[in-house]
Amino acid sequence: MSVPYSQIKPIPLRWLWPGVIPFGEPVILAGPGGTGKGMALTDLAARFTRGLPMPGCEEEREPGSVVLIAPEDDPNSTVAYRLRAARAGIAMVHDLTLTDAGSPFELPADLGELRETVDGLPGPVLVIIDPLLACCTAPVATNMGARRVLAPLQRLAKETGAAVVISHHTVKSGQVAGSKGLTDAARLVFTVRVDRENPAERIMAPYKANICGTTVEQRFTIEGEGTAAHAVWLDRAAVMARREGARTPKASPKASPRPCRHPYLVGTPAQCGDCPLRRQTAPRTTGAARQDLDRARGVLTRALITTPPAPEAPRTAAASRPAPVPAVPVFAAVRATAAPGGRPETTDLGRDWEDLEEAQEACGQDAGRALVWRRRDPHTWAALLRPLAGGQPVSYCVSDHTG
């Protein structure tokens, strides 16, 4: 028989943690192993037993009892230390990992004993199951199996008014493990993951929130070592301070300038950035021009083409540099002949040319062999004369420009 909603009395939802954990509805907290879900739940249990405000809240509440079911953690060597590290009221925490018969707690078979335990505790009650799969005898990989496990827990929470938090696992993709029917049946689902930008922080983010519209993510970190490890929740101011600290760029040490390795400046304080030879390297001769020189004057060596210009004194300031002057080719000719004793005899033809081909043609019509060289380049001149010390006269040509 249908009932009109005019006869259904609205009941306001009570919250243990506003927007996160309600009374009367189970909540799923899912995440990979090792992210600190157990420590976070232990801290919430400690706050609940002492009546302390939940993370991000200011209101204190009536202390309550906690029923803890943790099959994966030893109660003596792990859970007992976690509760003490979180400063819980340990007299208010009741372990139901083993039933009265001494067998492990199982879902849904032992829900009757859980109901009796909750009904026998005074005041508000928080039930923590950590994790779900360690207690289930029915598979949660199917919709039918998932609802078979979750529906009795929903009924227990509604009838007793207890808050129920279920720890669960996620797969590599971040989805909640098991059938989708598990998250479909739950009204509130949260996931826990490690923050990639700040690995020390854990993010508890809403995965599904059907009864409160929207809710914000929470952050916590693990402090302490060994048996003293415990969860510490971060408020918004602490999170923003951490983010601002991460964004502050660190001053990188200024690299010292490398000393100039050019042979003309070895042993001087000049740096490579101030080296005039680095900025005034002579342009390379093209392949076509090189072939023309070979045909006109015989042997042409690569070493002469790539000979650097004469070094200039390093300039200390950019403002002291003169304005650049367009390069003008100036070629001179000298007739050099090997002489006895290895010292070449040279005769200056006494004329300059601005065009290389004109200089080559004029020297070719002159009797004997001549050296065509770029004026104002003593290094090239010395290199031209060096081969004449031990052989017949040989003609050379250099096509570099001055400047």
Dig out the tokens for 165 from the structure.
């938090």
Q: Is the peptide bond before 26 cis (omega within 30 degrees of 0)?
A: no
Integer Cα distance of 77 and 64 in angstroms: 24
Verdict on whether the full-model pTM lies above 0.85 = no
Beta-carbon neighbour count of residue 272 at 10 Å?
14
Q: Which residues contact 156 (CB under 8 A, 6 or more apart)?
A: 111, 114, 115, 118, 127, 162, 164
Q: Is the peptide bond before 324 cis (omega within 30 degrees of 0)?
A: no
Question: Tens-digit pLDDT profile for the chain (403 aa)?
Answer: 889 999 999 888 899 999 899 999 999 999 998 899 999 999 999 999 999 999 989 888 899 999 999 999 999 999 999 999 999 999 999 999 999 989 999 998 999 999 999 999 999 999 999 999 999 887 888 888 888 889 999 999 999 999 999 999 998 888 898 888 888 888 899 999 999 888 999 999 999 888 876 678 899 999 999 899 999 999 877 666 666 665 555 555 555 555 555 544 455 554 555 554 444 444 444 555 555 545 544 443 343 444 455 555 555 544 455 555 445 556 677 666 666 655 566 666 666 767 767 776 776 655 455 666 555 555 555 555 555 545 444 444 444 433 3
Closest by Cα among 175, 84, 58, 159 to 114: 159
Q: Checking DSSP bridges between strand 93-95 and strand 218-223, what pairing results, if any? A: unpaired
Q: Domain extents for the chain?
A: 14-243, 284-311+327-403
In whole angstroms, how large is the CA radius of gyration of the chain?
A: 44
φ, ψ at 357 (rounded to 5°):
-65, -40
Integer Cα distance of 69 and 166 in angstroms: 10
* pLDDT the model gives residue 160: 94
DSSP letter for each residue of 186-249: -SEEEEEEE-SSSTTEEEEEEEEESSSS----EEEEEES-GGG-EEEEE-HHHHHHHHHHHHSP
Q: Which residues contact 266 (CB under 8 A, 6 or more apart)?
A: 260
Dig out the tokens for 400 from the structure.
């570099």
Integer Cα distance of 163 and 330 in angstroms: 97
- Domain 14-243 belongs to what architecture? 3-Layer(aba) Sandwich (3.40)
Check residue 79 and report its DSSP letter. Answer: I
Dig out the tokens for 382 from the structure.
């010395």
Predicted confidence (pLDDT) per residue in 46-90, tens digit: 999 999 999 989 888 899 999 999 999 999 999 999 999 999 999
Predicted confidence (pLDDT) per residue in 169-198, tens digit: 998 888 898 888 888 888 899 999 999 888
Q: Which residues contact 227 (CB under 8 A, 6 or more apart)?
A: 81, 85
* pLDDT the model gives residue 110: 93
Contact 350, 362 (CB under 8 A): no
Dihedral angle at the C-alpha atoms of 156, 161, 163, 169, nearest 10 degrees? 20
Beta bridge mates, 337: 345
* pLDDT the model gives residue 314: 57
Q: Residue length, the chain? A: 403
Q: For tokens 């009395």, name the residue.
A: 9
Closest by Cα among 114, 107, 112 to 131: 107
Q: Which residues contact 49 (CB under 8 A, 6 or more apart)?
A: 63, 64, 65, 66, 88, 89, 90, 92, 93
Q: For tokens 């003490």, name the residue.
A: 84
Closest by Cα among 22, 70, 311 to 188: 22
Tell me the one-letter amino acid at 303.
A
> How many Cα neighbours within 13 Å face the side chain of 385?
16
Integer Cα distance of 322 and 315 in angstroms: 10
| Alpha-helix residue ranges (DSSP H) falling in 248-336 | 276-279, 287-297, 302-305
Contact 380, 303 (CB under 8 A): no
Q: For tokens 């009892």, name the residue.
A: 65
Q: Checking DSSP bridges between strand 93-95 and strand 65-69, what pairing results, if any? A: parallel
